[in-house]
């Protein structure tokens, strides 16, 4: 897994490491790594124009030392000193190397953002905010030092203006805010410079799964497998109005490798599921009862179900079973009105978007979207469930574990019905024996990867995503064996 840490965790590790090193050695390691990445981005260093935006902290020192390295190799480097103070040693080295102090932002091939570091929180103050806006409007490539200025390194929050980097060079370890939106959208490409922090880091704050991680976790049939050993997932979804949700949830479950899908619903969605998925075992319900359904090893409940009394009773009956349950969509609206339904001994995985989680927690949706980690963790603590919070960065949170941040996906997934497919995939993984956190994280990874493959830069439908799930699963094994990119 790719692990990430809060600013406090990073600072503690740096202090421990610095106690074992000569003074200034850690900054030199960071600055050299930054300079080498910048040189690679420029291609030709000699004669290139570099502007370094320098704040008051150590990030400004890193940027000045990197600027000195580039100046010694023939770049024309200028530094705009924006802070109330400047790192003295870094500025002296910069001037000795031939760097110049600028009065204003001029034209450059590369801008190095060293305005603020990982300790900064809240909105950028002046003149930093204006400089960030001007850097964003420039034609130059922008490299952020450690974290784009304006992005909270520990949470990914962006309180106002922030630098939009083409590339962020982060030192020692990845910071949590670089992986979580909205902050992640400002990072650009992410390059990690090893400065020796590894042995001094604590347990991570968050973790992003790799293709190899997911491949290792996915249930796979063996010679002795039958449909029950592979997992039987029940799907309670769809209504007279939303028949397609049932079709998509069942499709997601089947495409993810369920041994059997037992679908329950009323007549209109039953007809649609039967026509689309003859593999499903279907029970048409006249009353919200599960007595005649048969053996189920996990349930998916909620997509397109409606929120009337009939749906409420069916949700209650599903949650009264003793198997894992994935709760999505309309079922989330129902449990928001009666949270006691979630009090059960078997695992519960809820899959809300920001609006649905806002109803569960009683906070505005924009606050949830702006602080995804905080609210996912709060929901775990208050509701006693595992939370898969969907969005531009999908996160999976469970008690006493690092939050899983999903690295796959595409903006094209923001279309109706894709969440129903995700629910089906997650239900299959629960039925196959994965715990709620692993099932949620693997489902999100596969769903995002299938979305990328299905879209290929063009619009897609939810049915396209479901159809691409097997291809995504096959690609995991090839990527993990070849040592390919672990995004």
User: Which residues participate in the annotated binding site for AMP?
Assistant: 390-394, 419
The angle at the Cα of 306, spanning 304 to 309, to the nearest 5 degrees, equals 150
Cβ neighbours of 2 (radius 10 Å): 18
CA distance 249 to 238: 9
Across the chain, which distance is largest between two alpha carbons, in Å? 84
Cα 167 to Cα 40: distance, rounded to the nearest angstrom: 12
Annotated binding site for K(+): 59, 113, 149
Residue 341 DSSP SS3: helix
Only one residue has tokens 């370890």, namely: 173
C-alpha dist (Å) from residue 341 to 295, 300, 317, 330, 399:
22, 15, 9, 14, 19
What is the distance between the alpha carbons of residues 171 and 187, in angstroms, rounded to a whole number? 14
Residue whose pair of structure tokens reads 């009065």 in the numeric block:
103
Q: Which region, left, alpha or beta, applies to residue 475 given φ > 0 means left and ψ of -120 to 50 means alpha? A: alpha
Report the Cα 94 to chain-centroid distance in Å: 38
Q: Annotated binding residues for (6S)-NADPHX, as ranges?
A: 58-62, 117-123, 128, 146, 245, 304, 353, 420
Residues with Cβ within 8 Å of residue 444, at least 6 apart in sequence:
388, 394, 396, 404, 406, 408, 409, 422
Distance CA 87, CA 276 (A): 66
Q: Which residues pair with 100 in a beta bridge?
A: 78
**Using only C-alpha atoms, what is the Rg of the chain?**
25
CA–CA dist 369, 53 (Å, integer): 30
In this structure, what DSSP letter does residue 362 have? T
Annotated binding residues = 58-62, 113, 117-123, 128, 146, 149, 245, 304, 353, 390-394, 419-420
Pairing mode, strands 49-54 and 76-81: parallel
């Amino acid at each position: 897994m790719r692990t990430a840490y809060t600013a406090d965790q990073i600072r503690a590790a740096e202090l421990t490491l610095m106690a074992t090193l000569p003074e200034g050695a850690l900054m030199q390691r960071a600055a050299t790594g930054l300079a080498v990445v910048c040189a690679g981005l420029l291609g030709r260093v000699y004669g290139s124009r570099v502007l370094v935006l320098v704040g008051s902290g150590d990030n400004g020192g890193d940027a000045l030392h990197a600027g000195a390295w580039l100046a010694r190799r023939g770049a024309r480097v200028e530094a705009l000193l924006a802070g109330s103070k400047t790192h003295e040693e870094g500025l002296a080295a910069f001037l000795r190397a031939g760097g110049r102090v600028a009065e204003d932002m001029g034209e450059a091939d590369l801008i190095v953002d060293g305005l603020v570091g990982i300790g900064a929180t809240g909105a950028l103050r002046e003149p930093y905010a204006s400089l960030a806006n001007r850097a964003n409007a420039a034609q130059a490539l922008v490299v952020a030092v450690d974290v784009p200025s304006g992005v909270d390194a520990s949470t990914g929050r962006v309180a106002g203006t922030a630098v939009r980097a083409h590339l962020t060079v982060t030192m020692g370890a990845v910071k949590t805010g670089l992986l979580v939106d909205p902050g992640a959208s400002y990072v650009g490409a992410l390059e990690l410079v090893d400065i020796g922090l590894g042995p001094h880091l604590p347990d991570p704050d968050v973790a992003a799964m790799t293709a190899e991680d997911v491949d290792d976790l996915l249930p796979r049939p063996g010679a002795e497998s039958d449909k029950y050993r592979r997992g039987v997932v029940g799907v309670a979804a769809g209504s007279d109005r939303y028949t397609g949700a049932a079709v998509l949830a069942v499709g997601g479950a089947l495409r993810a490798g369920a041994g059997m899908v037992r679908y329950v619903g009323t007549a209109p969605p039953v007809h649609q599921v039967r026509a689309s998925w003859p593999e499903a075992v279907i029970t048409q319900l006249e009353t919200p009862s599960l007595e005649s359904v048969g053996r189920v090893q996990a349930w998916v409940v909620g997509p397109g179900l409606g929120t009337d009394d009939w749906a409420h009773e069916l949700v209650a009956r599903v949650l009264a079973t003793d198997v894992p349950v994935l709760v999505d969509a309309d079922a989330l609206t129902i449990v928001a009105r009666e949270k006691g339904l979630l009090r059960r001994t078997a695992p519960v995985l809820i899959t809300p978007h920001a609006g649905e989680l806002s109803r569960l927690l009683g906070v505005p949706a924009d606050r949830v979207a702006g602080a995804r980690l905080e609210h996912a963790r709060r929901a775990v603590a208050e509701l006693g469930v595992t939370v898969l919070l969907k969005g531009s960065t999908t996160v999976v949170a469970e008690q006493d574990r690092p939050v899983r941040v999903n690295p796959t996906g595409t903006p094209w997934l923001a279309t109706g019905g894709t969440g129903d497919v995700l629910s089906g995939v997650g239900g299959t993984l629960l039925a196959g024996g994965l715990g709620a956190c692993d099932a949620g994280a693997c489902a999100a990874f596969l769903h995002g990867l299938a979305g990328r493959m299905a879209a290929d830069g063009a619009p897609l439908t939810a049915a396209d995503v479901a159809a691409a799930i097997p291809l995504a699963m096959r690609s995991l094994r090839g990527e993990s064996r070849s040592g390919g990119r672990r995004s």
